[in-house]
Amino acid sequence: MVDLSKPLAYRVRPKTLDEFVGQEHIIGKDKILYRTIKADRLSSIILWGPPGCGKTSLAKVISETTKYKFMKINAVTSGVSDIKNAVEEAKNYMLNPTGKCILFIDEIHRFNKLQQDALLPFVEDGTVILIGATTENPYFEVNKALISRSMIVKLEPLTKENILTILKQALIKEEGLGSFKIKIEENTLEKIAELSGGDVRTALNGLEIAVLTTSIDNDGYITITDEIAAESIQKKKAMFDKNGDSHYDNISAFIKSMRGSDPHAAIFYLARAIEGGEDPIFLARRIIIAAAEDVGMANPNALVVATNAMQAVQAVGMPEARIILAEAAVYIAESKKSNASYLAIEKALEDVRSKDTGTIPMHIRNAPAEGMKEFGYANGYLYPHDFPGHKVEQQYLPDKMKDTKYYIKDENVKEII
C-alpha cells in the first residue's frame, strides 16, 4: 500500500543508478563516480549543486547499494554529539563488522568550524566516508582540510527534458500517481518542467498539488490544464539566492555583460538580481564601478550617470528604482570602453608596493614655511599657467621613476580627452 501522506518527490526517488535521471556528466556509465558507486568503493565526496538537482537522491541510491552502514544527519538540526554518536555506532563491531560508515550530511555548509573540525579526524582515519550535500560553493563554506580529503562533485540544474522524463514516470509509478486517473497533455507537462527552473522537487510538488486539488470530472478523470498547472507551480523559480553562491555568479555575469557591451544580457542579470531580492544600492554601486573601471575616459559621463543613478535609487526606492538601474546599466553597456585609467592605477600601486620609487622632486614640493626655500623646497618650479597652452615641460616623477608611463591611451578607442 502506497503511503500518499509522503510528498511525491520523496515517493518517486530513484533506488538504483539505472533509475537516476540526469547528471550524465558525473554518473554516466563511463564516468568514475558511476563505477565507484557500482563497485562500492566510494571515498568521501561533496555533492554541490542547486536545490532539486538530485543530491539527496544520489545519496539515497548510494545507501541502497553500499555494504557499509549508512547514516544520515542534517546540519541544520545536528551537532557535534550527533557526529560522535554516528562514529560510536560505526565502531561497534558487533553491530557493524566493517567498522566504517557512510555518513550523509545534508546542508553541510550549515556546519560551523567546530562541527566540521569534530568530523575531520574520523574522515581522515577512514571510520567515516563522508557524503556532504550543499547548495553553496564548498570551497568557500567547507573546511579546507575536509575539501582536500573529498572529491568535489558539481551537479547542474536538471534539464527540461530530464524533468519531463521524471514527471512522466511519476504519473505511471504505483508509488507515484499511478493510482489516479489523470488526463494531462504533453505540452502541459512541458509547461510544468519549464516553470520548475531546473528543480525537480518544484516540478513534482506542482504536479502533485495540481492532481490533489482538482476535482474528478464526470468521466472519473482528473484533468490538468495549463492554467491549473501554472497556478499549482505558481511562478517560475528564479535560480538566484542573494545570500548564496549564485549571488556571486549573477553579479559577475551582470558586470561582465556591461563590460562586454551587451545591454540585453545586462538587463537580464539585473532582473534576476532584483527578483532575487538583491539590495538596489549594491547593484547601483556595481554600475558605478563598471563606469569607472570599464568605460573610463572613453566616456567620462558614464561615471556621472552611474553616480546620479545611485542617488536617484536612494531617493525613490523600489520598485521604481528598477527603472533607474536599468537605464544606468544600459548606458554603461552601450558606452565605448577603455580601461586605461584602471590599468594605470593598478600599475602605479604595484610599483609603490614593490619598488624603491625614490623621493619627490624638490621643485614640486610645497614650501609653506619661511626658510624652506633655502633647503631647495619649491625652487625652480614652473607655473604651467604662465606658459602657452597652460602647459610646460618639467619633471614631476621622482628621478627613479622619471621614464615610467602609467596612463596609456587605448589606441582602439578615441578617449574624450
196-212, pLDDT tens digit by residue?
A: 888 899 899 999 998 88
Over the Cα atoms of the chain, what is R_g?
31
Q: Contact 182/224 with Cβ under 8 angstroms? A: yes
pLDDT at 95: 78
Q: Judge whether residue 238 has pLDDT over 70.
A: no
Using CB atoms within 10 A of its CB, is residue 77 exposed (0-12), middle (13-18) or buried (19+)?
exposed
Q: Per-residue pLDDT tens for 90-143?
A: 888 877 788 888 889 888 888 888 888 888 888 888 888 889 999 888 888 888
pTM of the model: 0.64
Using CB atoms within 10 A of its CB, is residue 165 exposed (0-12), middle (13-18) or buried (19+)?
middle
Q: Per-residue pLDDT tens for 259-280?
A: 999 999 999 999 999 988 888 9
Q: Judge whether residue 1 has pLDDT over 60.
A: no
pLDDT at 270: 95
pLDDT-derived band at 290, boundaries 50, 70, 90: very high
pLDDT-derived band at 36, boundaries 50, 70, 90: confident
Give the residue-averaged pLDDT of 373-393: 89
Using CB atoms within 10 A of its CB, is residue 383 exposed (0-12), middle (13-18) or buried (19+)?
exposed
- Which of 17-31, 58-72, 269-283, 315-329 has maximum average pLDDT? 315-329
Indicate the range of 13-17, 299-303, 345-349 predicted with least confidence: 13-17
Q: Domains of the chain, with CATH numbers?
A: 23-154 (3.40.50.300), 160-233 (1.10.8.60), 245-334 (1.20.272.10)
Give the residue-averaged pLDDT of 160-177: 91
Peptide bond into 14 cis (omega under 30): no
pLDDT at 245: 58
Give the residue-averaged pLDDT of 333-342: 94
Q: Judge whether residue 58 has pLDDT over 60.
A: yes
Reading the block at residue 66, the C-alpha cell is 553500499
Q: Judge whether residue 380 has pLDDT over 80.
A: yes
pLDDT at 285: 94
Nearest residue to 149 (alpha-carbon basis) of 240, 266, 19, 43: 43
Q: Judge whether residue 241 has pLDDT over 70.
A: no
Strands 101-106 and 69-74, by their bridges, are parallel
DSSP 90: H
Tell me the pLDDT of the chain averaged across its residues: 87
pLDDT at 244: 58
The residue to which cell 542534517 is assigned: 74
pLDDT at 2: 58
User: CA-CA-CA-CA torsion for 325, 326, 329, 330, nearest 10 degrees?
Assistant: -150
Give the residue-averaged pLDDT of 368-397: 88
pLDDT at 242: 55
pLDDT at 33: 86
Transcribe 258-316 into DSSP letters: HHTT-HHHHHHHHHHHHHTT--HHHHHHHHHHHIIIIIGGG-THHHHHHHHHHHHHHHH
Give the residue-averaged pLDDT of 14-29: 87
DSSP 220: S
Numbers of helices and strands, H then E, in the chain: 18, 7
pLDDT at 323: 96
pLDDT-derived band at 342, boundaries 50, 70, 90: very high
Q: What percent of the chain has pLDDT over 70?
A: 94
